[in-house]
Amino acid sequence: MNDIAENGVKFGRIAVMLPVKDMIRAHDFYCNVLGFRKTFENGNPVGFMILKRDAGELHLTLQPQHKQAHFNVAHMMVDDVDALHALCQQHGLRIIKSLQDKDYGLRAFVFEDPDGNRIDVGQPI
């Protein structure tokens, strides 16, 4: 039995919340390197920010004591995983799992953003 489905609840937008130690550095990385654009910010100093690119959305939250997790915290689907992988290498980001074709139908890799958040990136094969 699925109470939510049976009661007609529909889910809308779900966005990942990434903790960051330095909001300016995170903004610059996601906007200047990955091409997101800021659509909202809150606080003085800014403690929360929404970034969008195409159908993707990220929420950044300022957490000065943030310690990186040793697991993936987000998954991005892109239409050119090879180009994004090359961009990550060009900018000296740590690649956690190398670019490879997976048996579950994705070409994928995992990188760490400047705050150590591990992002899994995939493209359907």
**pLDDT, tens only, 15-72:** 999 999 999 999 999 999 999 999 999 999 999 999 999 999 999 999 999 999 999 9
Which tokens hold the place of 29? 């990385």
Residue 4 confidence class, pLDDT cut points 50, 70, 90: low
Collapse the DSSP code of 64 into the 3-class scheme (helix H, G, I; strand E, B; otherwise coil) and give the result.
coil
Neighbours of 6 (CB within 10 A): 8
| Residue 11: predicted pLDDT | 81
| Residue 36: predicted pLDDT | 97
Vertex 93: Cα angle to 91 and 94 (nearest 5)? 155
| Residue 103: predicted pLDDT | 95
Distances (CA, A) of 44 to 39, 47, 48, 65, 72: 16, 7, 10, 18, 30
Collapse the DSSP code of 26 into the 3-class scheme (helix H, G, I; strand E, B; otherwise coil) and give the result.
helix
| Residue 7: predicted pLDDT | 74
| Predicted model pTM | 0.89
Neighbours of 26 (CB within 10 A): 23
| Residue 5: predicted pLDDT | 65
Yes or no: say if 109 and 98 are a contact pair by the CB < 8 Å rule: yes
| Residue 1: predicted pLDDT | 52
End-to-end CA distance of the chain: 35
